[in-house]
Structure 1
Amino acid sequence: MSDSMAVDKKGGTSGGCQCGAVRYHSTMAVEGVHFCHCRMCQRAVGNVFAALAGVLKDTVSWTGTGRPVFYASSSVAERGFCPRCGTPLTFAYPDSDWMSFTIGSLDDPEAAVPEAHCGVESRLSWLRVQEGLPEEYTDPKNDRLRGMVSHQARF
């Protein structure tokens, strides 16, 4: 196991929301750690980018007293958050075996070292963070994104 993977004392990845109602545990260490700068992620986390770390969905159990609520932010993706305190917790494509947790919700966020920047077409011009990592543009020709309809408000 790499030192860069967020691993807890139970042999996996754990985290939760700020009020403690929604807790999760994955039996695996996170993979595909990245920053997403796309406009949808910016709005979903209320910040200049989303910092996300992936796990296989079938390795996840919800261990707190509460469960996340999911919002279909587009026709192809959903985001989970705590219904009590509002903490953004997850991003996933429903048809994928993978989901991502927000790095800030991990019990050990220091161990989830980002490997890439995604959605860089929406990166803010003044933002300088982890420069030199590989960069990906959101490609509208991507099969999963083709025909995507955003459910986020437009102003």
Structure 2
Amino acid sequence: MDTQNEPASGGCQCGSVRFSIARLGKASICHCRMCQKAFGGLFAPLVEAHDITWTRGERAIFHSSKTNWRGFCRDCGTPLTYEFEGVVEVAIGTLDQPDLAQPVVQVNAGYRRACFDGLAKLPEKPSTLRDADEAWNRIVSSNQHPDHDT
């Protein structure tokens, strides 16, 4: 999907920090060790954010190196941005509509975890267990902010 010129909005898990983006740029998956640690995951899915405006709250900043920094929500810990040399990339999962940002490239592939290539081939739970998961999900009362401005 070409994400060029698509506007977007998003925010952190608790809703303390919200943003709007005039235009999305290139989306990527970064495998570097700093991104793995910053996201607490195997990789960081990021998309360039052109003309980002913070519409609620302010992101906290952690200088992860001499030239790069990470934005996050001080209240809930959600990783929000990767920033360097005037470029802001936002975490794709923080977008209200994450499918707007389809990664088109993997960067820092030399740091890719050994299990990455096989993730899509892992078996899924049998349908009987998936049904139980869905039943459980329906009764959970989430404190997570909805995927839209409030």
Q: TM-score, normalised by structure 2?
A: 0.74
Q: CA deviation at 1:48?
A: 0.2
Q: Which has the higher helix share?
A: 2
Matches within 5 A, 1:104-115: 104-115=93-104
Counterpart of 1:90 in structure 2 is 81
Q: 1:35-73 CA distances to partner (integer Å, 9 max, x unpaired)?
A: 0000010001100000000023xx111111x21001000
Please, which of 61, 67, 74 is the counterpart of residue 65 of structure 2?
Answer: 74
| Matched position secondary structure for 1:63 | strand
Q: Which amino acid aligns with 1:40?
A: M
- How many residue pairs get aligned? The number is 119
Q: Which amino acid aligns with 2:38?
A: A
- Given that 1:33 and 1:54 are in contact with CA atoms closer than 8 Å, whether structure 2 keeps it comes out as yes
Counterpart of 2:33 in structure 1 is 39
Aligned-pair RMSD on alpha carbons? Answer: 1.8
Counterpart of 1:61 in structure 2 is 53
Q: TM-score, normalised by structure 1?
A: 0.72
Structure whose alpha-carbon radius of gyration is higher: 2
Q: Runs of 4+ in structure 1 displaced over 6 angstroms?
A: none
Q: Which has the higher strand share?
A: 2
| Matched position secondary structure for 1:27 | strand
Counterpart of 1:139 in structure 2 is none
Counterpart of 1:99 in structure 2 is 88
Segments of 5+ residues of structure 2 without an aligned counterpart are 121-150
